[in-house]
Structure 1
Amino acid sequence: MPSLDFTLPHWAYWIGLILFPLVAMALSRRQRPRERRYSPVLGYFILITGGIMGLHRLYLSNLWGLLYIPVFIFILYANSEALTARSGVSDYANAVRMAERTLDREQGRVETARADLPALREALETAQAEADEGSFAIRRAERDVERAETRLEEGEARIALAEADLAEAKPGLETAQADLDRWNGMARIAFFAILAAMAVDAVLLPMLVRRANADLPEHEEMSEAEKALKALESAERKDDADYVSRGWTGALDRCSLYAGEFVSYWAVIAVFVYYFEVLSRYVFGSPTNWAHEAMYLMFGMQYLVSGAYAALTESHVRVDIFYASWSPRRKAIVDLLTSVFYFIFAGTLLVTAWIFAMDALAVPSGNGILSSWARGQISTGEMLASWDLRQWTDANIRWGEISFNEWEVPLWPMKWVMVIGGLLLVLQGISKFAQDLRKVVQGV
């Protein structure tokens, strides 16, 4: 299988987190068609993202899409077998390498010991003839002969073992390499077959969409009973916009509402990123080094920003056995009394997040003028006067804290999102405090 070596640029990551929710929010506010219709745009989008599994055909209720699934499963199976064969190739290649290294090392030692042994034995005989029995010269000569014989014996044993390992590992390496080439070739053929089918479907897709729309049943108007039931369900369901208050507090509520809606679309980004990671890892054998880190950073920021939205819509978990049955005015009084704990938490989060953000921007790894300003090395005027486009485009310029893995994504933006999350919580707390105070004064 061809490899898929792609690393998401840092600028694309941060721009995607901003632009995608904005586009999604705009699209969600479009007027929906009264009749269900298949869309060529959506069909091509599914073809690009899920065409390898035939999802574009299944979207159009076309059963030919089922033919893609066994081919895709075969690719996964072939890649799994290729992974096993690759492990075997690695093991056998390591065994061959170790055996050859042992032969290179021991053959020289054995030849040296075999060449030195006659002279050592002759020296022993000379010492035995000239020196007294048990003398130092005889003992040294005997020790030299013994060492040479031991070195020769052990070396020959290692050589024999290495030759046996080599004789066993070389055929195994050839077999494992052949298996690896065979499974890779079969997976490659299946993958290119799917690509060819996707190319044909890319041409046929407009016709497939027209045919699918033609097969749709005619639109039928709802009966009066169905309309009344739908209206009743809508009345019972409280939309998020119903939590927005009147007056100046409504502006703060809308900030929390829009912030929560904005980060909610990040979950859709996670679907695409993890889908890409699965395909990259199991289809192309090229796991990424950025997908997991990008997503857990994103979800951490989502958690922080959505706190104010949860406070607005009363989505936090709480025990309200007594609280639920109280009147709005009594609830407001209790909320006013307990708001001090809310502001202690939100205020602490805001102050701590500000400290974290400034520290992250000012760590020594940052060599941009913004990091120098955060460390107090240059004044605000010098920082603004020295600012240019290079601070954004030069890859050698870094701002503050970065991650420790190969992706090296800047971490200071996430720390500043903590500040935004804390600020939103404080503002939402002010809005809730003002609304509760209004209920108490008005005696609602």
Structure 2
Amino acid sequence: MPRTADTRKELWLTWFISHYVSVVDAINYRVGRLVMYGIFVMIAILAWASISKTFFLPSLWTLEMAQFAMVAYYMLGGPYAIQMGSHVRMDLFYHAWSDHRKAYFDAFTVFFLIFFLGVLLYGAIDSAQYAVEYNERSYSSWRPYMWPIKIITVIGIVLMLLQAISEFFKDIARIHGITL
């Protein structure tokens, strides 16, 4: 039986969606697993802050560097948390629902997340462009450049947006009984 144009479009769309989900999930999985070890970077920075305050002169850079490390940790680790389902959710009724009903609800509510991330991305790109263009520096006495952390923030928001779209595709597939 020959394939019609509609069948070919459906096959191409199915291939594209499954490929998109697998690529985005693989990227966010690897980034998340790498960033997971950022907790040790923060521990080392804060340990050095304690040691230097106790035995030497206090370091100017430790508190702000720990804050930057924390921003990178949660901005780049957020998509991994969404992918693994380990994010915090208000679970008053949700836990009692069937998987099918959860998929419908998640497919609807992900649009709020996508809208929020779009607005956040718009502001983050503008802020990062400003930081790069004007060599923005922090107002602290250490005065580090702000563009590295702002670019990391943009990357984290983009990865979260891509993961939210991936989760939407997975929810639609669950509604239709398809496993991606």
Q: Which has the higher contact order (CA 8 A, sep 6+)?
A: 2
Aligned to 1:102: none
Residues 299-318 of structure 1 aligned to structure 2 (within 5 Å) = 299-318=70-89
Query: Which segments of 5 or more consecutive residues in structure 1 lack a partner in the other structure?
Result: 1-245, 364-399
Q: Secondary structure at the match of 1:306?
A: helix
Select the structure of larger CA radius of gyration.
1
Paired AA for residue 149 in structure 2: M
Cα RMSD (Å): 1.9
When normalised by structure 2's length, the TM-score is 0.81
Give the fraction of aligned pairs with identical amino acids, expressed as a percent. 31
Paired AA for residue 257 in structure 1: Y
1:420 to 135, 151, 155: 155
Aligned to 1:262: 34
Q: Secondary structure at the match of 2:176?
A: helix
Tell me how far apart the structure 2 counterparts of residues 442 and 280 of structure 1 sit (CA, whole Å). Answer: 58
Paired AA for residue 411 in structure 1: M
Q: CA deviation at 1:441?
A: 2.1
Given that 1:329 and 1:443 are in contact with CA atoms closer than 8 Å, whether structure 2 keeps it comes out as no
Q: How many residues align?
A: 162
Aligned to 2:3: none
When normalised by structure 1's length, the TM-score is 0.35
Residues 225-304 of structure 1 aligned to structure 2 (within 5 Å) = 247-248=18-19, 249-284=21-56, 286-304=57-75
Paired AA for residue 278 in structure 1: S
Paired AA for residue 289 in structure 1: L
1:323 aligns with 2:58: no
Paired AA for residue 293 in structure 1: E
Tell me how far apart the structure 2 counterparts of residues 403 and 443 of structure 1 sit (CA, whole Å). Answer: 49
Q: CA deviation at 1:348?
A: 1.3
Query: Which segments of 5 or more consecutive residues in structure 2 lack a partner in the other structure?
Result: 1-16
Residues 116-131 of structure 1 aligned to structure 2 (within 5 Å) = none
Distance 1:443 1:358, change over 3 A: closer
Given that 2:41 and 2:69 are in contact with CA atoms closer than 8 Å, whether structure 1 keeps it comes out as no
Distance 1:321 1:406, change over 3 A: closer
Q: Secondary structure at the match of 1:315?
A: coil
Q: CA deviation at 1:301?
A: 2.2
Q: What CA deviation, in whole Å up to 9, does each residue of 1:382-431 have, x standing for no partner?
A: xxxxxxxxxxxxxxxxxx11122332211111111111111011110111
1:332 to 94, 103, 110: 103
1:405 to 129, 135, 140: 140
Q: Secondary structure at the match of 2:100?
A: helix
Paired AA for residue 433 in structure 1: F
Tell me how far apart the structure 1 counterparts of residues 178 and 152 of structure 2 sit (CA, whole Å). Answer: 39
Given that 2:35 and 2:77 are in contact with CA atoms closer than 8 Å, whether structure 1 keeps it comes out as yes
